[in-house]
Amino acid sequence: MTVSNRHTSYVLWCSFVVALGGLLFGFDTAVVSGAVEDLRSVFVLNSFELGFTVAVALIGTIFGALIFGKPADWYGRRTMLFVIGLLYLISAIGSGAAWDWYSFVFFRFIGGLGVGGASVLSPMYIAEIAPAKYRGRLVALTQFNIVFGILLAFFSNYIIKVIDIGNVDWRLMFGIEALPAAAFLLLLFAVPQSPRWLISKQRVDEAKSILLKLGSDNDNLDVVVSEISSSLDIKHHSLRERFLQRKYAVPISLAVAIAMFNQLSGINAILYYAPSIFMSAGAGSNAAFLQAVAIGFVNLIFTMLALLVIDFLGRRTLMLVGSIGYIVSLATVATAFFTYSADFTPTGNMIVLISLFVFIAAHAFGQGAVIWVFISEIFPNRVRARGQSLGAFTHWIMAALISWTFPLIAEFSGGIIFAFYTVMMVLQLIWVIFIMPETKGIPLEQIQKKLGVS
């Protein structure tokens, strides 16, 4: 039962639908960038309060990343994806209709729960249904949709800003997310439960019927089921066994490291505050929003490129290239802010713009494409949900800290904050060179053995 064109089409369809959770993830996290100044004036916020208002969704993602792992083991990946879709829908409608600052913060927190859950479940589900030789590209569909969602948010914000419908334009920016959220919920009815989850629940016949539709890396279906069952090792391990223990130390440390470095690049701060960064570098309001759209296009193009080559070049190669791009671009932005300070010339603005294009390209080709693929691969079947939760939790708690503190530090010195991100990416490059393993083309059950997990 190798993978035929029919199998590939079905796997691709299921992956595409589940990856729509990533599109909502991207849209929800980036849409606030267009409303930053409106939120500041409508709710009369100082820099600290503004940072919290932007970061509250990220605080929600921390909790979402924590709480969706175990229910995904109990009730199934697909079931919990429905819950995530509902959270997105509630958040979109509520944020757009918010009657005061407290209600807005509450509904943005609800959306954050959905984003945190999607960052756990979308890549995990796809990794569990995908044949090894396609797994990198298919899991990277989630990242592609995250990036596409970010671009849609930037473009939607720009159109709404240009139309200028008045004091309610920021409400439309948030409320329009209800449309893709509703589509996601409807399409989820067309995808099956994860066969690996079904086997963990001793529902082997159901798992076999789904594996027949999906295809696998081995002609013998019984061998595939046996390998999955062996990795679960139900006789000696429980799905409820303690996760934080020595035998899982290697995948835990790898997940925490890649997730921390992802945010220590400053990526979420740059995405959330893109128009504000460009305005502080001398761009006008509409030009700043248009430059943010251009950032979104660069992100999409290089994500597509990474998606095409991740299963050929491997995860480490993409991380190496991305790390070097990070270092060069961030160092240049830091230098520009130190040089021009509050008196940006057109030349200074152009240096910042081009450098941030390079930064986004480096992120999209490296960390952005790799993080969710890598975390979804390195944990054994029996603890994958909790491992994915840990990686996502680390990612989002760092994102919240970076995004909350960015306006405070940037107000003092843009150069210092970009210099800090540069140093962190030098450390990431060292980690990739000496520690990060390669996982391309290896079946999930064999990666477990490669990392020494019994």
**Other beta carbons within 10 Å of 44:** 9
User: What are the tens digits of pLDDT across the range 80-102?
Assistant: 999 999 999 999 999 999 999 99
Report the sign of the C-alpha dihedral through residues 228, 229, 230, 232, in that order.
positive
CATH class of the region 5-450: mainly alpha
At 275 the pLDDT is 64
Per-residue model confidence (pLDDT) at position 104: 93
**Selected residue with higher pLDDT from 348 and 423:** 423
What's the mean pLDDT in 310-324?
95
CB 199 within 8 A of CB 229: yes
C-alpha–C-alpha distance, residues 72 and 336, integer Å: 46
Among 183-197, 277-291, 388-402, 407-421, the minimum mean pLDDT is found in 277-291
> In the structure encoding, which two tokens stand for residue 215, read together?
């295809």
Whole-number pLDDT of residue 87 = 95
Would you say 29 and 272 are in contact if contact means Cβ atoms under 8 Å apart?
yes
Buried b / exposed e over 204-236, threshold 16 CB at 10 Å, is eeebbebbeebbbbbeeeeebbebbbebbeeee
Least confident among 200-204, 225-229, 271-275, 346-350? 271-275
Residues found in the chain: 454
Ramachandran category for residue 181: left, alpha or beta (phi over 0 → left; psi -120 to 50 → alpha): alpha
Choice between 443 and 178, residue whose per-residue pLDDT is larger: 178
Q: How far apart are CA 246 and CA 173, in angstroms?
A: 46
How far from the centroid of its chain's Cα atoms is residue 319's Cα? 16
Give the distance between the most distant pair of CA atoms in the chain. Answer: 69
Lowest mean pLDDT among 30-44, 315-329, 426-440: 30-44
Contact 121, 80 (CB under 8 A): yes
Q: How many CB atoms are closer than 10 A to CB 90?
A: 17
Checking if the pLDDT of 152 tops 80, the result is yes
* Model confidence pLDDT, tens digit, residues 104-151: 999 999 999 998 888 888 888 888 888 777 788 888 788 788 888 888
| pLDDT above 80 (res 403) | no
C-beta atoms surrounding 393 within 10 Å: 24
pTM summary value: 0.77
Average pLDDT for the chain: 84
pLDDT at 217: 56
Can you give the pLDDT at residue 4?
52
pLDDT band at 422 (very low <50, low <70, confident <90, very high): very high
Backbone angles phi, psi at 212, to 5 degrees: -60, -35
Domain boundaries of the chain, sorted by first residue: 5-450
- Quickly state the pLDDT bin for 31 (edges 50, 70, 90): confident
Give the model confidence (pLDDT) of 55-81 as tens digits.
788 788 889 888 888 888 889 889 999
Give pLDDT tens digits for 342-392: 677 778 778 888 998 999 999 999 999 999 889 989 998 778 888 988 998
Residue 239: predicted pLDDT: 54
Mean pLDDT within 411-428: 88
pLDDT at 235 over 50: no
Q: How far apart are CA 130 and CA 136, in angstroms?
A: 9
